Amino acid sequence: MTTDAPGSVTDWVSTGHLPGEEAVRELVAEAHRRFSPVQDCEVARYIPALAAANPGHFGLCVASTGGLLFEAGESTQPFSIQSLSKPFLFALLCQAIGEDVARARLGVNSTGLPFNSVLAVERSGEGLSNPMVNAGAIAATSLVPGDTAEAKWHFIEEGFSRFAGRQLQVDQAVYASEIASNRRNLGIATLLEEQQRIWFDPDAATDLYTRQCALSVTARDLALMAATLANGGCQPCSGERVIEPLICQHVLAVMVTAGLYETSGDWLYDTGLPGKSGVSGGMITVCPGKGGLATYSPPLDESGNSVRGQLTARFLSERLGLNLFASRPLAPF
Ligand code: GLU
């Protein structure tokens, strides 16, 4: 038996296609019908502006790597990206400074702890964390190229917009609201400074992190951003290469470790896919080679993950045949 030379990612990719267009359209509509009535949970309240979200809003969008969109409900309702910014910031950072440097400085292991855990920073060896939780994301923001906050912001805004395929804007009301109630993240940044794990002024890095969390997106935007991660780093509609395929592959691995915070294991068990949630109610799921799913539904579970979003991802992972771990025996036994 011969094998290809190791090291060439293009020879070792996950392949396959989504089912036919009609089937995907029907399943997306079915997921929306099925999970719209779910109501036994609450929207995030710790950022005052998020408490005003409509708990009835439920939008979803599947974007194929070929750029086809399948949508239901409030898929064009704007909301702040929040923690869904983390994988995209990490991807852009790896592309800019090299993933070995990013990994050595930030760490990529699961914390097993809530998204804003101080203990995670203290407990991990040498202050390393994971770019999918706040400490790692604030440290990642501090490493973004640029000598000034404005230069760093330009890098972030421009990079996120390339993922979305359109110019994204900050929701100023959400930004102001979170800045006024941000003491915990400022504390995390101060702790990182003590451990020499932050590479820009801690207050300024926290401000930039907060601003990026307030970027306004829709489920449609996020589905295309997720589909870019499913498509070796190429935006399916603009055709632009946003990040290299190998970086894309590694970002998805890091999403698997901590994308849903302390419930990342349950998520992986249920969906078999990399995913990321945010406290505004957004959620993305990435199926390498096939496409991205994004949902928007503000009511959250106790870990800060959208309840309808998780139900939808699990349902569509099963029905669209997306689970990366699912297989059947080669021969019928
Ligand atoms: N901006 C939020 C925070 O840092 C993001 C948290 C999240 O979406 O999980 O508290």
Mean pLDDT of the chain: 92
- Residue 329 pLDDT more than 60? yes
pLDDT per residue as tens digits for the range 260-291: 988 999 999 999 999 999 999 999 999 999 99
| Among 322, 269, 330, 315, residue whose Cα is nearest residue 292 | 322
pLDDT per residue as tens digits for the range 81-98: 999 999 999 999 999 999
Task: Give the start-to-end residue ranges of the domains of the chain.
Answer: 17-319
pLDDT per residue as tens digits for the range 222-267: 999 999 999 999 999 999 999 999 999 999 999 999 999 889 999 9
Specify the pLDDT at position 3. 38
- Residue 35 pLDDT more than 60? yes
For residue 169, the one-letter residue type is: Q
Residue 279 CA to ligand 1 center (angstroms) comes to 6
Specify the pLDDT at position 50. 92
Tell me if 278 CB under 6 Å of ligand 1.
yes
Query: Average pLDDT of 201-219?
Result: 98
Specify the pLDDT at position 327. 85
3-state class percentages of the chain: helix first, strand second, coil last, to nearest 5? 50, 10, 40
The ligand 1 atom nearest the CA atom of 46: 10
Tell me if 134 CB under 6 Å of ligand 1.
yes
pLDDT per residue as tens digits for the range 212-223: 999 999 999 999
- Residue 1 pLDDT more than 50? no
Tell me if 283 CB under 6 Å of ligand 1.
no
For residue 205, the one-letter residue type is: A
Q: For the chain, first and last CA: distance in Å?
A: 25
Specify the pLDDT at position 13. 66
Domain 17-319 coded CATH 3.40.710.10: yes
SS3 of 119-164: the string is HHHHHCHHHCCCCCCHHHHHHHHHHCCCCCHHHHHHHHHHHHHHHH
- Residue 9 pLDDT more than 50? no
- Residue 124 pLDDT more than 90? no
Query: Average pLDDT of 188-207?
Result: 95
> Which of 47, 81, 213 should be mutated for ligand 1, with most atoms under 8 A from CB?
213
Specify the pLDDT at position 271. 97
Q: Over pLDDT 70: what percentage of the chain? A: 92
Residue 47 CA to ligand 1 center (angstroms) comes to 9
Tell me if 82 CB under 6 Å of ligand 1.
yes
**Is this prediction's pTM over 0.95?**
no
pLDDT per residue as tens digits for the range 97-118: 999 999 999 999 887 677 787 7
pLDDT category of residue 317 using cuts at 50, 70 and 90:
very high
The ligand 1 atom nearest the CA atom of 178: 1
